[in-house]
């Protein structure tokens, strides 16, 4: 049971018929929104198109969450598809929504081996270094004072703990990470600066490598201020062992920690047993964060199955979010917010 047992459970009925699962939810007023049951930020990744075009999506987002993460709109390929030519419209729309509705923003992401513009591939090492510095400085300066936290570098390790052989690692060497954090701090001293990765939720080769990097960089005075744990989980595998202890060991380094992209995918079609297991996983992740003082944020990678990335990436899996495609709360929601 969630640590938030003092709150009332929604009157949600789970109906299973002809292999389909539906949720009949009580009105939103039957329980407090997620953002109101904890002193930590509760966020969701957001596509600008849904925010602009779907009133029900916008209403649910505004009610339930106090932080938003642009899902793709701040990635390098989206912002600067051609060198020196920026397209700010979608990212601006999300930031403007946040400011108008009292939300904070998690910036995602500045340096990543994926979704970067193809023109980077043609640069020399010296030119690439200049491009990275200019990109970080330009983007962070535009949003200075408007972004609570930034994922400065994203997914820098392989599963065995070795450095990912990205274009940045190849051409700039291992020091590109420290440089990126220093440039980011210069651009917006008020934003919290994070390293972010997946499959680091338990103690193992990958999380140990991230832990050692954070420790080493901080000892060198590099302004790494947070560690992000994406927490993309699947009910086909066990819940990460030692989850809370792993968050705590990073916090003990003197950094904030955050759940940055949580979802829990199930094998389709979903049924009541699979969704109950999904609820267990969400609840354990939520409670693990709640138990660590420096776990400051619990963000999901989308809140509705309507826009989940999972089916397009993991064939045969889906139903990974807290709300279904019709924006009804699922058992995972009511487990977190009983």
What is the pLDDT at residue 283? 98
pLDDT higher than threshold 60 for residue 170: yes
Q: Would you tell me how many other CB atoms lie within 10 Å of the CB of residue 234?
A: 17
Global confidence as pTM: 0.91
pLDDT digits (tens, 9 = 90+) for 264-312: 999 999 999 999 999 999 999 999 999 999 999 999 999 999 999 999 9
Residue 25 pLDDT > 60: no
User: Would 140 be classed as within a structural domain?
Assistant: yes
pLDDT band per the 50, 70, 90 thresholds, residue 319: very high
With respect to residue 249, please indicate whether it lies within any of the assigned structural domains: yes
Q: Fill in the DSSP letter of residue 306.
A: G
Percent of the chain with pLDDT over 90: 91
- φ, ψ for residue 145 (rounded to 5)? 80, -5
The answer to the question of residue 2 being in a domain is no
Taking only the tens place, the pLDDT of each residue in 32-48 is: 999 999 999 999 999 99
- In whole numbers, what is the pLDDT of the chain averaged over residues? 92
Beta bridge partners of 149: 106, 192
pLDDT for residue 27: 40
Q: Average pLDDT in the 84-90 region? A: 97
Confirm whether 278 is domain-assigned: yes
107 - beta bridge partners?
150
**pLDDT at residue 39 in the model:** 97
* Count of domains observed in the chain: 1
Q: Is the pLDDT of residue 187 over 50?
A: yes
Nearest to 77 by CA among 43, 130, 33, 121: 121
Confidence bin at 17 (pLDDT 50/70/90): very low
CATH number at residue 309: 3.20.20.80
Q: Which range (3-17, 168-182, 233-247) has the least confidence? A: 3-17
What is the percent of the chain where pLDDT is above 70? Answer: 91
Tens-place pLDDT, residues 115-167: 999 999 999 999 999 999 999 999 999 999 999 999 999 999 999 999 999 99
- Domain membership of residue 310 as a residue range: 13-336
Does any domain span residue 4? no
Binned at pLDDT 50, 70 and 90, residue 31 comes out as: confident
Q: What is the rounded average pLDDT of the residues 210-239?
A: 98
Q: Is residue 5 part of a domain?
A: no
pLDDT reported for residue 23: 39
Q: What is the mean pLDDT of residues 62-87?
A: 98
Residue 15: its pLDDT value, please?
A: 35
> Catalytic positions, please?
155, 261
Does residue 305 lie within any of the structural domains? yes
- pLDDT, residue 282, reads 98
Interatomic CA distance for residues 126 and 62, integer angstroms = 44
Q: Which pLDDT band, with edges at 50, 70 and 90, does 61 fall under?
A: very high
The answer as to whether 3 is a domain residue is: no
């Amino acid at each position: 049971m969630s640590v938030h047992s003092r709150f009332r459970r929604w009157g949600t009925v789970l109906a299973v018929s002809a292999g389909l699962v539906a949720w009949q939810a009580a009105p939103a007023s039957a329980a407090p929104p997620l953002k109101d049951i904890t002193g930590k930020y509760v966020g969701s990744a957001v596509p600008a198109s849904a925010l602009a075009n779907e009133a029900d999506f916008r209403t649910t987002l505004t009610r339930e969450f106090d932080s938003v993460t642009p899902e793709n709109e701040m990635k390098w390929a989206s912002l600067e598809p051609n060198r020196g030519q920026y397209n700010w419209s979608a990212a601006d729309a999300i930031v403007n929504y946040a400011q108008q509705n009292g939300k904070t923003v998690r910036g995602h992401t500045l340096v990543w081996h994926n979704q970067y513009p193809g023109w980077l591939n043609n640069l020399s090492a010296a030119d690439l270094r200049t491009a990275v510095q200019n990109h970080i400085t330009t983007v962070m300066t535009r949003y200075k004072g408007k972004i609570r936290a930034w994922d400065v570098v994203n997914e820098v390790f392989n599963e065995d703990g070795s450095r990912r052989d990205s274009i940045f690692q190849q051409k700039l060497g291992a020091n590109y990470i420290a440089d990126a954090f220093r440039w980011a701090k210069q651009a917006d001293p008020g934003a919290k600066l994070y390293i972010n990765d997946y499959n680091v939720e338990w103690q193992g080769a990958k999380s140990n490598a991230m832990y050692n990097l954070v420790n080493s960089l901080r000892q060198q005075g590099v302004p790494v201020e947070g560690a992000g744990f994406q927490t993309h989980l699947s009910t086909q595998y066990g819940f990460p062992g030692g989850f809370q202890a792993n968050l705590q060991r990073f916090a003990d380094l003197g950094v904030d920690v955050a759940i940055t992209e949580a979802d829990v995918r199930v094998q389709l079609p979903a049924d009541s047993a699979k969704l109950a297991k999904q609820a267990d996983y969400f609840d354990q992740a939520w409670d693990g964060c709640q138990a660590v003082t420096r776990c400051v944020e619990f963000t999901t990678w989308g809140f509705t199955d309507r826009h989940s990335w999972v089916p397009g990436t993991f064939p045969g899996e889906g139903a990974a979010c807290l709300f279904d495609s019709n924006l009804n709360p699922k058992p995972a929601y009511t487990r977190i917010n009983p």
